[in-house]
């Protein structure tokens, strides 16, 4: 039987297959007004199409725990009840089609307050709905980016509480899985890496200090996230720097700790924290990092990174390199990837009644 279409159970949640959709920002929420940060018709249609296409798990894009935590003014947020109500429409539809709804809780840190990618992605100021970014240290992400305001210990504790509140709201909104965003150069990743964290207090310097915020967030979220529901953590397994960066060795060490703190699966990506890093992009280029975590720790893992066809995805799982695959660009191109992959591999997947003529 196809490995790609075997169910996967974490705690009391069973995901019907291993074709998963990773968080991919749509930059399509209102930047101001009562619906700021709330999902709208675009988001509903976007996620509903992938559920109708048979995707087993959909992780809703990076959703900010505070207004300042958005990557752009057009990002989703989950800091108020208006946003919660709007999310319920999406989670109800996904659940009705057998897709497990998940959400990525995020804070953009020093990479916040930027324009939408198709508008260039440059930093924006108050005249374009922008704000002053925050970070572990007063180090800009890249030339032309603002120097972030260095967070005080009191402000760090406030952000931990924001993740706690966001997790409570995510549960109320109908999500079955929460993922903490610790990758791609956003706030938690900034604290993890010595490239971006030059603090000299309890949140900087040593490995133990640099991982402190991440573990505090995990503990805070796990405390309010139900025992029967899984918790994921997304990580950049390497900064792709020759020195003074977060490394694959750090990731393996940290993965074991995350397991001890109640994380159920590591969503393994790479990069995003060093603007000048050279990344050898190619088919499945990030899979070896997931495979190493799976081989050397007790934590379940999901692999990402230019996984584009059924045979490739099947091989990753059959070789025990990961427990599931997350297909980003391919699901943007083809919302029905899971249904077509099932046909190719001789497996079965949920098909809406209205689409049975396509089987």
Residues 6+ apart with CB under 8 A from 160: 213, 216, 217, 220
Is pLDDT above 90 for 74?
yes
Is pLDDT above 90 for 185?
yes
**186 noted as active-site residue:** yes
Q: Are 250 and 214 in contact (CB under 8 A)?
A: no
Query: What is the maximal distance between C-alpha atoms in the chain?
Result: 63
Read off the pLDDT of each residue in 63-68 and give the average, rounded to a whole number: 98
Is pLDDT above 80 for 359?
no
pLDDT of residue 148: 98
Read off the pLDDT of each residue in 18-28 and give the average, rounded to a whole number: 98
Domains and CATH numbers, the chain: 3-358 (3.20.20.70)
pLDDT of residue 323: 98
Read off the pLDDT of each residue in 327-344 and give the average, rounded to a whole number: 96
- The catalytic position among 186, 207, 285, 355 is 186
Three-class DSSP labels, the chain: CCHHHCCEEECCEEECCCEEECCCCCCCCECCCCCECCCCHHHHHHHHHHHHCCCCEEEEEEEECCHHHCCCCCCEECCCHHHHHHHHHHHHHHHHCCCEEEEEEECCHHHCCECCHHHCCCECCHHHCCCCCEECCCCCCCCCCCCCEECCHHHHHHHHHHHHHHHHHHHHCCCCEEEEEECCCCHHHHHHCCCCCCCCCCCCCCHHHHCHHHHHHHHHHHHHCCCCCCEEEEEECCCCCCCCCCCHHHHHHHHHHHHHCCCCEEEEECCCCCCCCCCCCCCCCCHHHHHHHHHHCCCEEEECCCCCCHHHHHHHHHCCCCCEEECCHHHHHCCCHHHHHHHHHCCCCCCCHHHHHHC
Is pLDDT above 80 for 335?
yes
Task: Provide the pLDDT confidence category of residue 357 given band limits of 50, 70 and 90.
Answer: confident
Read off the pLDDT of each residue in 148-175 and give the average, rounded to a whole number: 98
Read off the pLDDT of each residue in 176-189 and give the average, rounded to a whole number: 98
pLDDT tens per residue, range 214-261: 999 999 999 999 999 999 999 999 999 989 999 999 999 999 999 999
Task: Provide the pLDDT confidence category of residue 166 given band limits of 50, 70 and 90.
Answer: very high
Which residues sit opposite 104 in a β-bridge?
62, 179
Is pLDDT above 90 for 167?
yes
Is pLDDT above 90 for 358?
no
pLDDT of residue 356: 84
Task: Provide the pLDDT confidence category of residue 109 given band limits of 50, 70 and 90.
Answer: very high
């Amino acid at each position: 039987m196809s490995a790609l279409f075997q169910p996967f159970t974490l705690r009391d949640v069973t995901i019907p297959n291993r074709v998963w959709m990773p968080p991919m920002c749509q930059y399509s929420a209102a930047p101001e007004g009562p619906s700021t940060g709330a999902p709208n018709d675009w988001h509903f249609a976007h996620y509903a199409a992938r559920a109708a296409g048979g995707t087993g798990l959909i992780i809703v894009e990076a959703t900010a725990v505070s207004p300042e935590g958005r990557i752009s003014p057009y990002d989703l947020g989950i800091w108020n009840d208006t946003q919660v109500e709007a999310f319920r429409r999406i989670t109800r539809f996904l659940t009705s089609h057998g897709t497990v709804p998940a959400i990525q809780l995020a804070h953009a840190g020093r990479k916040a307050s930027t324009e939408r990618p198709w508008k260039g992605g440059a930093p924006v100021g108050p005249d374009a709905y922008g704000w002053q970014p925050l970070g572990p240290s007063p180090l800009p992400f890249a030339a032309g980016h603002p120097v972030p305001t260095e967070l005080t210990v009191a402000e760090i504790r406030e952000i931990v509480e924001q993740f706690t509140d966001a997790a409570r709201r995510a549960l109320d909104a109908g999500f079955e899985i929460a993922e903490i965003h610790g990758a791609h150069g956003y706030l938690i990743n900034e604290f993890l890496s010595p490239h971006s964290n030059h603090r000299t207090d309890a949140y900087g310097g040593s490995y133990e200090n640099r991982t402190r915020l991440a573990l505090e967030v995990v503990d805070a979220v796990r405390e309010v996230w139900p025992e029967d529901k899984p918790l994921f953590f997304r990580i950049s397994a390497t900064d792709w720097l020759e020195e003074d960066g977060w490394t694959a060795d750090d990731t393996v060490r940290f993965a074991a700790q995350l397991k001890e703190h109640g994380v159920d699966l590591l969503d393994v990506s790479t990069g995003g924290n060093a603007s000048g890093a050279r990344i050898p992009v190619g088919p499945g280029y990030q899979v070896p990092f997931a495979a190493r975590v799976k081989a050397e720790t007790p934590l379940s893992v999901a692999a990402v990174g230019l996984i584009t066809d059924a045979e490739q995805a099947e091989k990753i799982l059959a070789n025990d390199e990961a427990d599931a695959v997350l297909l980003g660009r391919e699901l943007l191109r083809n919302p029905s990837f899971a249904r077509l992959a099932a046909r190719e591999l001789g497996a079965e997947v949920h098909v809406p009644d209205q689409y049975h003529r396509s089987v």
